[in-house]
Structure 1
Amino acid sequence: MGDATEALFREDAYLSTAEGIVAAINERGGIVLNRTNFYATSGGQPGDTGFFERADGARITIAGTITGQTKEEIVHLPAPDAARPEIGETLVLHIDWARRYKLMRMHTACHLLSVVCPYPITGAAVGEDESRVDFDLPDAGVSKEGVTADMMALVAANHPIFTQWISEAELAANPGLVKSKNVRPPAGSGRIRLVCIGDEAAVDSQPCGGTHVSETQEVGDIHIGKIEKKGRENRRFRIRFGALPAM
């Protein structure tokens, strides 16, 4: 079994810098800390990059972050030429904030899209410049202009975004919270993290372990760049930053 890492990003997505102690280094050189603000790749959101700062000011470049033997173990992947820290060493952890903030805005935009298009989700991937969400949607019947306008209305309304925890039993009693058609929230820990939008979650509430902005206005200008047909009942929506380009 892997070691559990305290995932600071779950409670505070804006923690760009934190302190952690090296708990282990795996056979591939991956660094495991007692706590981290680095998000590990999961749920369609890429893991964080950045650097660790040592006591003497030297930097260890982190090229990626993944989960280890369990979802609770977070492994930081140093760049090939980076130095290796010592077990028990205290490090200051700096995420690449500009990149993370883009991913937070994009991940939030994906949630807004799922509000505007309330269909079962068959796949999703969050990117720095473009994200995609696939829906089980036989007949598109929607336009990128209409979906963009509806998403931007949610952005402009500046709804609050917050997280809350419910028990697995509560989730089982409310199966409609799960929007993904083929991916279930991780079970076994006894509790599920919900990302909620709007006062008292009036706009949306769904299980998610990713990082998001704290109010919809922070998403900024976004638009649907393309709606693609991927199979008989699958439609792929591509979200991009910026206003919808004029035709």
Structure 2
Amino acid sequence: MTEALYLEDAYLRDAPARVRHVTAEGGIVLDRTIFYPTGGGQPGDSGWLSWDGRRMPIATTVKGDDDSIVLVPAEPQQIPQTGTHLIQSLDWDRRHRHMRVHTLLHLLSVAVPFGVTGGQVSVNHGRLDFDMPDAPDDREGIENALSEFITADLRVSSEWITQDELRAAPDLVKTMAVAPPKGAERVRLVQIGDMESRIDLQPCGGTHVARTGEIGSIQLGKVEKKGRHNRRVYVHLDG
């Protein structure tokens, strides 16, 4: 199992690690990593590995077997061998934009209070699919609500609960299509706002900004019909 450093500190840009093993496909598994693996609608991180004067670009990161996290090299070249000590570095601009968009999608799930059936994060925009038969009739109200949440500069934090605690509070799960992992002993909750100002609390294993003000200015995008009871709503970073 790879220690997921990004779960405790999404702002780590560089960190030392040791190569645990190399997969048959040439993927690199570290003992600890700052690289987020593709999942939950968020793309895997990219960046670089450095060791012994060498620098290898990493194209993406995926989940492997046994909860391992696999870094996928961008091009064929000499791979660090098992036991190698190295420095891992994120493509920070790309990751930070993912963090801004992911937190924005949590805000969107508050502004549009319907069940979420899917979602996707990219560097410039994100989208959520909602279990709603009709398109929202107050686009301006949604965009204003998002802007108010961002301007309020609410704190974004996380905590861990047990599976039993999650089962006792099923309303925490907003996403109908992606359930929290059943096998995990603990489930990570992401909270927006402190207790007196909290607007959202839901299971999430992704990376987020520390405060909503960091998202910056945004725009509400198009709304698409994706089935009889499904509407896809896009949001965009404005810079």
Normalised TM-score (structure 2): 0.97
Instruction: Verify: 1:151 aligned to 2:152, yes or no.
Output: no
Q: Deviations over 1:57-98 (max 9, x none)?
A: x1011011000013x210000122332001100110001000
- Given the alignment of the two structures, is residue 137 of structure 1 paired with residue 99 of structure 2, yes or no? no
CA RMSD, aligned part only? 1.2
Match of 1:102 in 2: 97
Deviation at 1:241, TM superposition (A): 1.1
Amino acid at match of 2:115: P
Partner of 1:178: 173
CA distance in 1, matches of 2:209, 2:37: 17
Residues 98-138 of structure 1: per-residue CA shift (max 9 Å, x gap): 00000000000000000111111011000011211000011
Shift of 1:225: 1.1
Aligned to 1:43: 40
Q: Return the alpha-carbon distance in structure 1 between the equivalents of residues 69 and 57 of structure 2.
A: 16
Cα offset, 1:145, TM superposition:
2.2
Q: Which residue number corresponds to residue 195 of structure 1?
A: 190
Match of 1:84, SS state, is coil
* 1:68 aligns to 2:59 (yes or no): no
Give the % identical residues. 46
Structure 1 unpaired stretches of 5+: none
Query: Which secondary structure state, in structure 2, belongs to the residue aligned with residue 103 of structure 1?
Result: helix
1:229 aligns with one of 210, 225, 232: 225
Alpha-carbon distance, 1:141 to partner: 3.4
SS in 2 for 1:163: strand
Separation (CA, whole Å) in 1 of partners of 2:37 and 2:69? 6
Q: Which residue of 1 aligns with 2:114?
A: 119
Q: Which moved more, 1:124-133 or 1:75-84?
A: 75-84
Could you say what secondary structure the match of 1:199 adopts? coil
Q: Which residue of 2 aligns with 1:53?
A: 50
Give aligned pairs, total: 238
C-alpha contact (below 8 Å) 2:154/2:212 kept by paired residues: yes
Q: Secondary structure at the match of 1:145?
A: helix
- Runs ≥4 in structure 1, deviation > 3 angstroms? none
- When residues 141 and 79 of structure 1 are mapped into structure 2, their CA distance, relative to the original with a 3 A threshold, is closer
Equivalent residue letter for 2:21: A
Deviations 1:142-195 (A, max 9, x none): 333221111010000011000000111010000000001122100222110000
